[in-house]
Amino acid sequence: MIPAPAFLANPERFMAFSRWAAPALGVIAVVLALVGLWLGWSAPPDYQQGETVRIMFIHVPAAIMAMFVYACLGVASFLALVYRHVLADCAAQSAAVLGTGFTGLALVTGSLWGRPMWGAWWVWDARLTSVLVLFLFYVAYLSLRASIDDETKGSRAAAILALVGLINLPIVHFSVYWWNSLHQGSSMFTPGALAPVYAWPLYVMLLAYLAGFGSLWLVRIRGEVWRRRAEAAALRAARG
Amino acid sequence: MSRLGALIRRETTLAWGRGGGPLVTVGFYAGVATLLPLAIGPERERLAAVATGAAWVALALASLLSLERLFERDYEDGALDLMTLSETPLELTSAVKCLGQWIATGAPLALAAPVAAIGLGASAALAPLIFACALLGGLAFAFVGGIGAALSLGARRGGLLTAVIVLPLFTPPVIFGGGALDAMASGLPWQAAFALLAAYTAAAVALGPLAMAAACRNALS
């Protein structure tokens, strides 16, 4: 197994680790977000986009997280499916909810940015469409999970779907690109493409999003573990 | 081999016979194709612009219809349990099921698709390509749809759930098929899009059964 999940695979160790890691990451996320927002706010308005360029600091990290969280969901689902590990299943479930949130945020902020820039709330361009399909993947995952009563079966079925989606997403991405492209290409990691005055707040915000996701993910996994423990305790009590 | 032959015969007969089979699917397809001009308006130019695309989307929707019964029926009456116990691997059984589905609904739809597209105003010269795309795309729709059908076994509101799972997975074949038809309609080379559609279909036929078998085993465990 990958070393980090192997270390955290022990539930006791995980609970002890996440007990302080979750709040610590949360504090880091808040500090980084404050710094990033301050940097973003004090950056000069873009010569072409004006003040709306600041939407980028919210939108771009959200879009990156949308994909990153799906990768986390895929890895967690794989571990849950192959090793039948309960914690990995909790992690997959928690990642899906958060990923839906990030994808929704990316879509909404993108739409708000598109209105002043392109003159339309929505255009059927490649990137927008592939993020929309990603959102539908998340929705499908959550609805499959929600509609199977047997929790073990539901989680395994959802894990299979997550892996099918993991194979499919690059194909969807590629096919949608082949179909059309209007959205500008990614310039975030191309040296010189983005002025430092915009690049720095963007990087700080990305780190803030990552830390925030880490914190919320741990909190949600902890909550899920407690819920399952409570359920098991209730079953034991009912049996007498 | 004879076991496989019997399986193919069984699946095709079931898909063809029970629950209307091709009649229901083609009827649905004709219904959607009829509602479309009523919503868009009867002007010839306007309809002709969307004819192939509309026919193609309606095809994707129509192939969702009978998916619910693909595994559900055998799951409920216990036949799926027996299939798991048989010597034929479940992967192969799933593939045969999808093949039966394709013969019973995909092939009749492929015959209906050019009629619908020409009725909506597409050029008659497109008919062979529409037929080929529908035949090939139908195979992809059946195998990808089978994944959704197997995953939603034992779920509440299985049919609706299957559609929610499968529709995002239909994105690439819809793009490639629509792209090939659109390219030919505007006089551009369509071979690239058609080859991509064929590649997607091949991948779905090769990998889909693995996911279906895993999902069936999970539902039966």
Here the ipTM equals 0.85
Most B-contacting residue of A84, A103, A128, A153 (CB-CB within 10 A), to test interface: A153
Identify all chain B residues contacting A171, using CB atoms and an 8 Å cutoff.
Answer: 172, 200, 203
| A29: its two tokens | 């996320």
Closest residue of chain A to B192, computed from CA coordinates = A178
| B30: its two tokens | 């004709």
pLDDT, averaged across chain A: 85
DSSP state string for A87-156: HHHHHHHHHHHHHHHHHHHHHHHHHHHHHHHHSSS----HHHHHHHHHHHHHHHHHHHHHH-SSHHHHHH
Identify all chain A residues contacting B182, using CB atoms and an 8 Å cutoff.
Answer: none
Residue A73's nearest CA partner among A161, A148, A170 is A161
Helix axis angle, B44-62 relative to B171-185, nearest 10°? 150
- Dihedral pair phi/psi, residue A50, rounded to 5°: 65, -140
Q: Tell me the C-alpha to C-alpha distance, in Å, between residue B201 and each of A41, B51, B151.
A: 49, 23, 20
Most A-contacting residue of B68, B162, B171 (CB-CB within 10 A), to test interface: B171
Residues A156-178: what's their mean pLDDT?
A: 86
Q: How far apart are CA B103 and CA B114, in angstroms?
A: 17
Identify all chain B residues contacting A137, using CB atoms and an 8 Å cutoff.
Answer: 168
Closest residue of chain A to B170, computed from CA coordinates = A172
| A7: its two tokens | 């270390």
Domain boundary assignment for chain A: 21-239
Q: How far apart are CA B28 and CA B26, in angstroms?
A: 5
Question: B214 and A160: CB-CB below 8 Å?
Answer: yes
Q: A182 pLDDT band (50/70/90 cuts)? A: very low
Say what the pLDDT of residue A1 is: 44
A46 and A232 in contact (C-beta within 8 Å)?
Answer: no
The answer for A 151-170 residues in CB contact with B (under 8 A) is: 153-154, 156-157, 160-161, 163-165, 167-168
Q: How far apart are CA A86 and CA A9, in angstroms?
A: 9
Residue A6's nearest CA partner among A71, A59, A79 is A79
B165 touches chain A (CB under 8 A): yes
Sequential pLDDT tens for chain B (221 residues): 688 888 888 888 888 876 667 888 888 899 988 888 888 888 888 888 888 888 888 889 988 887 888 888 888 888 888 888 888 889 999 999 999 889 888 899 999 999 998 888 888 888 889 999 999 999 999 999 999 999 988 887 777 889 999 999 998 899 888 888 888 888 888 888 899 999 999 999 999 999 999 999 998 88
Residue A87 has pLDDT above 60, yes or no: yes
Q: How far apart are CA B29 and CA B108, in angstroms?
A: 10
The answer for A 172-191 residues in CB contact with B (under 8 A) is: 172, 175-176, 178-179
pLDDT, averaged across chain B: 87
Q: A3 pLDDT band (50/70/90 cuts)? A: low
Q: Which one of B176, B211, B221 has the shortest CB-CB distance to A175?
A: B176
- Dihedral pair phi/psi, residue B213, rounded to 5°: -65, -40
User: Residue with structure tokens 């197994």?
Assistant: A1
| Total domains present in chain B | 1
B103 and B15 in contact (C-beta within 8 Å)?
Answer: yes
Say what the pLDDT of residue A192 is: 61
Say what the pLDDT of residue A94 is: 92
Question: B167 and A136: CB-CB below 8 Å?
Answer: yes
A208 and A153 in contact (C-beta within 8 Å)?
Answer: no
Domain region containing B8: 2-220
Q: Which one of A140, A167, A176 has the shortest CB-CB distance to B175?
A: A176
Question: B171 and A156: CB-CB below 8 Å?
Answer: no
Q: How far apart are CA B55 and CA B35, in angstroms?
A: 12
Q: Which one of A144, A171, A178 has the shortest CB-CB distance to B161?
A: A144
Residue A189 has pLDDT above 70, yes or no: no
B219 touches chain A (CB under 8 A): yes
Q: How far apart are CA B98 and CA B209, in angstroms?
A: 9
Query: In this predicted structure, which of A18-27, A46-55, A140-149 has the lowest mean pLDDT?
Result: A46-55
Query: In this predicted structure, which of A136-140, A180-184, B163-167, B207-211 has the lowest mean pLDDT?
Result: A180-184
Residue A181 has pLDDT above 60, yes or no: no
Question: What single-letter DSSP state applies at residue A50?
Answer: B
Residues A44-67: what's their mean pLDDT?
A: 82
User: Residue with structure tokens 């803030």?
Assistant: A208
Percent of chain B with pLDDT over 90: 29
Beta partners for residue A50, in sequence order: A46
A179 and B183 in contact (C-beta within 8 Å)?
Answer: no
Residues A183-201: what's their mean pLDDT?
A: 67
Instruction: Tell me the H-state helices in chain A.
Output: 3-8, 11-42, 55-83, 86-118, 126-147, 151-179, 196-239
Residues B104-161: tens digit of each pLDDT: 888 999 999 999 988 888 888 888 899 999 999 999 999 999 999 999 888 877 778 8
Residues A119-123: what's their mean pLDDT?
A: 80
Question: What single-letter DSSP state applies at residue A121?
Answer: S
Helix axis angle, B158-169 relative to A126-147, nearest 10°? 150
Q: How far apart are CA B169 and CA B156, in angstroms?
A: 21
Q: Which one of B168, B179, B215 has the shortest CB-CB distance to A157?
A: B215
